[in-house]
Structure 1
Amino acid sequence: MAPTAAYDEIADWYEHDFLPASRPGDPIGVQRQLTELLGAGSGTVLEVGCGTGVHAAQLRELGWAPLGVDLSAGMLAYGKTKLPVARGDATRLPVRDGSVPAVVAMLVHTDMPDYPAVLREVSRVLRPGGVFVHVGVHPAFCGGFADRSDPAAVVIRPGYLDGHWTKDSWTTEGVRNRVGATHFPLPALLQAVLDAGLTLTGFTEGGEPVPTTLSFTTIKP
């Protein structure tokens, strides 16, 4: 049985309500981090969990040819208008071993309960010397344990160490209270990268005054 795609139920809302209501510019530094960590290049870049294709235009501007994989047919109905896509489970990517020079995961790791398995798949499909960029919500400051209703004074409650799935959220206007999120404490996240055989090469954060995102880049030896 194929895994359930939670985003199917919110795909229309995500495309027509959530994205247009997002703050203009790059308030949490996602675009900046992608540019810094991936950089200009050529060839195929596989976006794992591409959703509606929000990042395809920026990837093209950097010189890459984006290809998207996502589990949600509802999200891909929008995504396919922006980049070539395939429906698939990120823990079993429909991509040949060692076939792509770059992979990106953009704000999706909390949507993937077995993200360590996803990282192993990323390592499998990357060419030797290939680059993987992870742009994700900050493990230390975002999650069901974090109340971000006052950006100047984020409140961290017990729960960071639990590493569990939850729909708890500080806002009712976002994605997490609708589809939930899986939390990975920082050591668990970074250890999963190393266990996948990837070498960490750079880090950056985004958002202020308390970071919202933590991103890193790796290479496949």
Structure 2
Amino acid sequence: MRAAYDEIADWYESEFLPRNADDPLGQRRVLAGLLGRGEGACLEIGCGTGVHAGVLRDLGWTPVGVDLSAGMLRHARPRLPVVRGDAARLPFRDGSLPAVAALMVHTDMPAYPAVLREAARVLRPGGALVHVGVHPCFCGGFADRADPEAIVVRPGYLDGHWTKKSWTDQGIRDKVGASHWPLAELLGAFLEAGLALEAFAEGDGPTPVILGVRARRP
């Protein structure tokens, strides 16, 4: 199976990541604040090129990654142990992991509710899932972020559709597309997966680009 990110893996590694090396959206801050220090394996769902592995190690966790894209995993292998697989059918045993992280990937996964159910399945009782993704209220094909001081929100927020429409040609959505999940549907998917919502965080800036959620398997 060929994944959409296979086509852009080299561009992502050599051009996109260097432009975002200083964490302008606050992803690392939100991840660290919600996950906290711990030990044992932390599975990163949709690990891509493994760029977040260092943050997980700094927090004491042992990062392990899963991704569908062979092209992205080619760059990830020097950074963390990885397996190629479908996030909606994780190759891990029930209740085997103390922590799971999903970082900037939920818009890449049209079956994200199924991914959350899988995360709940592989988590140990009491284990935490940390989701960090684009903010559903302020990011999507309906949002024009060309002026960061005055985001223009157009009709389409409630449509919940997949689109390649983007305000910039320097990002990812215009290349591989993205699914949009309105806030109520996104949070509801955590509850439907049997996870208990525990904490939230938003990114930096006058209008946050990212939303973080910590949920736990009861």
Whole-angstrom distance in 1 between the partners of 2:124 and 2:19: 38
2 CA distance for matches of 1:20 and 1:76? 18
Q: 2:5 aligns with which of 4, 7, 14?
A: 7
CA distance in 2, matches of 1:95, 1:74: 22
- 1:76 alignment partner, SS class: helix
Deviation at 1:17, TM superposition (A): 1.0
Give the paired residue count.
218
Deviations 1:77-127 (A, max 9, x none): 000110000000000001111000000000000000000000000000000
Q: Provide the C-alpha distance between the structure 1 equivalents of 2:116 and 2:47, rounded to a whole number of angstroms.
A: 15
CA distance in 2, matches of 1:25, 1:16: 15
TM-score by length of 1: 0.97
| 1:28 to partner: Cα distance | 1.4
Give deviations 1:153-197, integer Å, cap 9, x for gaps: 000000000000000000011111000000000000000000000
**Distance (Å, rounded) in 2 between the aligned partners of 1:142 and 1:88:** 27
Paired amino acid for 2:133: G
Matched, 1:41 2:38: yes
Q: Counterparts of 1:85 and 1:10 in 2: how far apart (Å)?
A: 19
What is the letter of the counterpart of residue 99 of structure 1?
S
Q: How far is 1:20 from its partner?
A: 1.2
Quote the offset at 1:29 in angstroms: 1.2
Q: For residues 10-159 of structure 1, what are the structure 2 equivalents within 5 Å? A: 10-22=8-20, 24-159=21-156
Q: Which residue of 1 aligns with 2:198?
A: 201
**For the residues of structure 1 that align with 2:39 and 2:175, how far apart are their CA atoms?**
36
Q: Percent identity?
A: 66
Q: Which amino acid aligns with 1:70?
A: D
The gaps in structure 2 that reach 5 residues or longer are none
Distance 1:62 1:169 in 2: 34
Aligned residue for 1:97, secondary structure, equals coil
CA distance in 2, matches of 1:91, 1:27: 29
Q: How much has 1:21 moved relative to structure 2?
A: 1.9
1:35 alignment partner, SS class:
helix
For structure 1, which runs of at least 5 residues remain unmatched after alignment?
Answer: none
- Aligned partner of 2:18: which letter? P
CA distance in 2, matches of 1:55, 1:31: 8
Match of 2:173 in 1: 176
One-letter amino acid of the counterpart of residue 13, structure 2:
E
TM-score (norm 2): 0.99
RMSD: 0.7
In structure 2, C-alpha distance between the alignment counterparts of 1:97 and 1:21, rounded to whole Å: 38
Shift of 1:26: 2.8
Q: Which residue identity is paired with 2:37?
A: A
Displacement of 1:47 in angstroms is 0.2
